Amino acid sequence: MNDTNRIILEPLLPEDAQDMFSVLSDNRAYQFIPDEPPISLEALHDRYVFLSEGGNSDGTGIWLNWIIRQAVDQKAVGYTQATLTAEEAIVAYHIFPAYWRQGIATDAMQFTLTTIFHNPDIKIARAFVDTRNHASIALLHKLGFKQVRTIHDADFFKGAKSHEYEFEITQTEWLKTPMLSQT
């Protein structure tokens, strides 16, 4: 569990579907990702059952998912996730539109990166972001990520081609940033 002045991160559980369903139904949050809002509470619950299994059945990947809650009232405000494979992690976050531009994503990703980099096997974290998502690009730069490539035609969704930037930060770089890595 992470506890800051604003937020608490806890492992995402199937029971969290109830708190997450209505806030995940805001279409504004899906502008730059190929996902859609959950079709039903039951479908979201089933998805969380699957995610709570923790990884691929062949053991090649570990899934870590956290629900982000406001510290003051325990209200769900988003989630973070990391998929660990060998020496790397792919990280992502989703903050609900009502909570954008409040520093929640920064705090949540600091926790996520600190947690994954405490695993000595994880040497690098990667993030992929739509080239039009200026807020997420700014957040990744703020966290110390470096853009390493552009992936043209990375996806096609909502009637348009999507290009992505790939960002990365190493464990060494993260651990050298005391203000960020001490969450």
Q: What is the structure's pLDDT at 154?
A: 73
Mean pLDDT within 91-97: 92
- Reported as a single tens digit per residue, the pLDDT across 105-123 is 999 999 999 999 999 999 9
pLDDT in tens, 112-153: 999 999 999 999 999 999 888 899 999 999 999 999 998 887
- Reported pTM: 0.85
Q: What is the mean pLDDT of residues 20-40?
A: 76
Please state the domain count of the chain. 1
Residues paired with residue 55 on neighbouring β-strands, in sequence order: 62
Q: Which carries the bigger pLDDT value, residue 156 or residue 64? A: 64
By CB atoms closer than 10 A (0-12, 13-18, 19+), residue 55 is middle
- Average pLDDT (89-99) is 92
Mean pLDDT for all residues in the chain = 85
What distance lies between CA 156 and its chain's CA centroid?
21
The lowest-confidence range among 32-36, 77-81, 149-153 is: 32-36
Q: Higher pLDDT residue, 70 or 51?
A: 70
Residue 151 domain boundaries: 2-181
For residues 46 and 3, the model is more confident at 46
Q: Residue 155 above 70 pLDDT?
A: yes
CATH number for 99: 3.40.630.30
The distance in angstroms from the start CA to the end CA of the chain is 11
Dihedral sign for Cα 79, 40, 44, 81, please.
negative
Residue 182's pLDDT is what? 45
Q: How many CB atoms within 10 Å of residue 65?
A: 20
